[in-house]
Amino acid sequence: MINLLEQAPVHIAGVLVKVFPQNSEKVTAVLNSLPGTEVHDITDQGAMVVTVEATEEEKNIVDIITHLSTLDGVLDASLIFHHNDAGLVPHQAKPADQPINFR
């Protein structure tokens, strides 16, 4: 049996972080310095697309997002998407000559 999952569940969140445009560079540097946090895009109006992954130190995604919203220069942080692979069934290996059933 092949387990395609990590040993522990993985939690990843997509977060919309709003800042005043003049604060975007400073806040980007702070966010990118946080473990498991990455800024992907910033609009001219100060909207940031950020992903957050739970870490060993901080396993609760809600606590991480709450922390983001309290950072200096941040106006708001909103959860947009959350992925949690806990409870997924492990996949079984199939012989190479057996077709995959996509139904």
DSSP string, 21-72: GGGHHHHHHHHHHSTTEEEEEE-TTSEEEEEEE--SS---HHHHHHHHHHST
For residue range 10-46, list pLDDT tens digits in order: 788 999 999 999 999 999 999 999 988 999 999 999 9
What is d(CA 81, CA 51) in angstroms, rounded to the nearest whole number?
9
Q: Where are the domains of the chain?
A: 13-84
Question: Could you name the CATH architecture of 13-84?
Answer: 2-Layer Sandwich (3.30)
Which range (9-18, 30-39, 49-58, 64-73) has the least confidence?
49-58
pLDDT of residue 97: 75
Residue 13, SS3 per DSSP: strand
